Chains A and B, each alone.
Chain A
């Protein structure tokens, strides 16, 4: 079975400061990794994904994440946040091949303070 742990339930950060949202996963097989973002009163949308290849992946809105296999982590980063980044961020994992259930973390609320 696979699982995802998001270490912080809430992260307050000042506007234009850098931010890192932490995600660790557990799986006995190869996985795909994702970050989804949920803006207030909306559904989730895919922010970025790691399938294979370069361990540093870039997503929309200036976000990036690094896959670290030895530490089983997939932390999300942004060098300078904006008010519009205030949202809830979900890390997710899926096994590779065919239909595989996506397991979501419990989410991290990013609050950008003006």
Chain B
């Protein structure tokens, strides 16, 4: 099992550019999450999904969109990147009856200049 994988690992964008981060899990988890991690702020939930075809907003959803067309994939999109979106992005997944026990991917380090 690969667990949770994220693509790409690193990316540099210019302000206004767009990109999509891909998360994939092979554990048949129902729930998936996108977090951002910033120094001194811990992890903040951007969006999450409780099943294929569903998405919901987390704490800091502005400037991001998500889609979950397939159960195993959860995409995070930035339509017009801003320097404030410079961060490390983590995807996670969990079973529906154990949403507290999340399995994390290795992260994507994004820099917006």
Inter-chain contact A44/B90, CB cutoff 8 Å: yes
A53 CB-CB contact with B under 8 Å: no
Determine whether the beta carbon of A34 is less than 8 Å from that of B100. Answer: yes
Cβ-defined contact, A49 with B99, below 8 A: no
Which of under 10, 10 to 19, 20 to 34, or 35 or more describes the interface residues of A? 20 to 34
> Bound state CA distance, A27 and B58, in angstroms?
19
CB neighbours of B103 from chain A (8 A): 45
A57 in contact (CB, < 8 A): no
CA–CA, A105 and B40, complex, Å = 9
The answer, yes or no, to whether A100 is at the interface (CB within 8 Å) is yes
Q: In this assembly, does B96 line the interface, its C-beta being within 8 Å of a C-beta of chain A?
A: yes
Chain A 13-43 near chain B by CB (<8 Å), digits 1 or 0:
0000000000000000000101000000111
Distance, CA A92 to CA B35, complexed state (A): 14
Complex CA distance for A102 and B107, rounded to whole angstroms: 18
Is there a chain B Cβ closer than 8 Å to A94's Cβ?
yes
A106 touches B40 (CB 8 A): yes
- Cβ 8 A contact of B100, one of A32, A42, A105: A32
Selected contact of B99 from candidates A42, A43, A100, CB within 8 Å:
A100
In the complex, what residue of chain A is closest to B33 when comparing beta carbons? A102
**5 CB-based A-B contacts, threshold 8 Å:** A41-B106, A43-B92, A45-B103, A106-B40, A106-B41
Q: Point out residues on B near A: beta carbons under 8 Å.
A: 4, 31, 40-43, 45, 50, 58, 90, 92, 96, 99-107
By a beta-carbon cutoff of 8 Å, the part of chain A in contact with chain B is 9, 32, 34, 41-46, 49, 90, 92, 94, 98-102, 104-107
